[in-house]
């Protein structure tokens, strides 16, 4: 691991993400890129109107001041921190930042979303997860001395999850962490006997050229099963593939990865399929 992007809006939750990222940075000796996105839009930034130009300069200077003060934290002592300010809030732009700086991970805080807000608006964490091609670590609440030594990776063992599985293995190796892999079996049309489940898992592992041990865990829903299994084994984090569905597809099909991000209190890592 070389660099970690931390997304901040100066809120308490984004500070918890910064603390968590600082813990990882100290353990793995990596640089933090702390990114703040302004609420400006492209029309204002490129407007020839002098008033808009003055306003833009003022807001950028204010953001620089606020970010400098935000980063004056004792827990960042000894950590290399690079502040980055983007003029407007486009979450897909994080990929460009990650690529430009060769970053390995995005860390952000989230209060989650629920009910109609979750269905029609979604949280900022969801928006980042949908767009990011690098792993995203979502922090919920306060995490003290974060160390990802053991994490759960859950998937349905369909072939489209193979790239995410490989990314998760690489991530575990990068952190020198133990990856516990689980298949969630639920009492619905997707229910599989243990025999059928292990046949499916073994075919997947053969294609992945992996001898990874996999646990079968039964629960009422995939989301509940992932979260409950993570609690059961005292995992430091939960890792899941996400399709990054958008628009109508997201509304009707949803995303288990985003549901877990919204509802888990354990930190969640997502890997884009």
Q: How far apart are CA 5 and CA 103, in angstroms?
A: 7
Q: How far apart are CA 250 and CA 231, in angstroms?
A: 27
Q: Residue 108 pairs with which residues in a beta bridge? A: 138
Q: How far apart are CA 136 and CA 130, in angstroms?
A: 10
**Fold of the 148-272 domain:** Rossmann fold (3.40.50)
Any idea where the domains of the chain sit in the sequence?
Answer: 1-146, 148-272
Assign domain 1-146 to its CATH architecture: 3-Layer(aba) Sandwich (3.40)
Q: For residue range 69-83, what is the model confidence (pLDDT) as tens digits?
A: 999 999 999 999 999
Please check the confidence at residue 46 and state whether its pLDDT lies above 70.
no
Please check the confidence at residue 249 and state whether its pLDDT lies above 50.
no
**What per-residue confidence (pLDDT) applies to 122?**
46
Among 44-53, 152-161, 182-191, which is the least confidently predicted range?
44-53
Q: For residue range 91-131, what is the model confidence (pLDDT) as tens digits?
A: 677 888 888 899 999 998 887 554 433 333 345 666 777 77
Tell me what the mean pLDDT of segment 155-180 comes to: 94
Burial class (CB in 10 A: 0-12, 13-18, 19+), 39: exposed
């Amino acid at each position: 691991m070389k660099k970690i992007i931390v997304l901040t809006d100066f809120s308490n939750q984004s500070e918890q993400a910064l603390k968590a990222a600082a813990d990882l940075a100290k353990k793995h000796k990596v640089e933090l890129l702390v990114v703040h996105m302004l609420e400006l839009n492209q029309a204002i930034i490129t407007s020839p109107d002098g008033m808009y130009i003055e306003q833009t300069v003022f807001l950028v200077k204010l953001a620089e001041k606020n970010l400098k003060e935000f980063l004056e934290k004792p827990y960042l002592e000894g950590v290399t921190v690079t502040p980055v300010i983007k003029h407007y809030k486009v979450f897909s732009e994080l990929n460009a930042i990650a690529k430009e700086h060769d970053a390995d991970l995005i860390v952000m805080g989230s209060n989650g979303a629920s009910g109609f807000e979750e269905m029609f608006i979604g949280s900022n964490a969801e928006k980042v997860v949908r767009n990011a091609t690098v792993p995203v670590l979502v922090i919920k609440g306060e995490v003290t001395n974060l160390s990802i030594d053991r994490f759960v990776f859950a998937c349905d063992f369909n072939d489209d999850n193979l790239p995410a599985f490989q990314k998760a293995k690489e991530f575990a190796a990068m952190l020198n962490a133990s990856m516990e892999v689980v298949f969630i079996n639920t009492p619905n049309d997707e229910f599989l006997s243990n025999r059928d489940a292990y046949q499916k898992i073994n075919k997947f592992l053969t294609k992945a050229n992996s001898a990874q041990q996999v646990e079968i865990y039964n629960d009422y829903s995939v989301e509940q099963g992932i979260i409950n299994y993570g609690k059961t084994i005292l995992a430091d984090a939960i890792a899941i593939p996400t399709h990054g569905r958008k628009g109508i597809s997201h509304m009707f099909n949803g995303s288990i990865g985003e549901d877990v991000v919204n509802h888990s209190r354990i930190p969640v890592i997502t890997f884009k399929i």
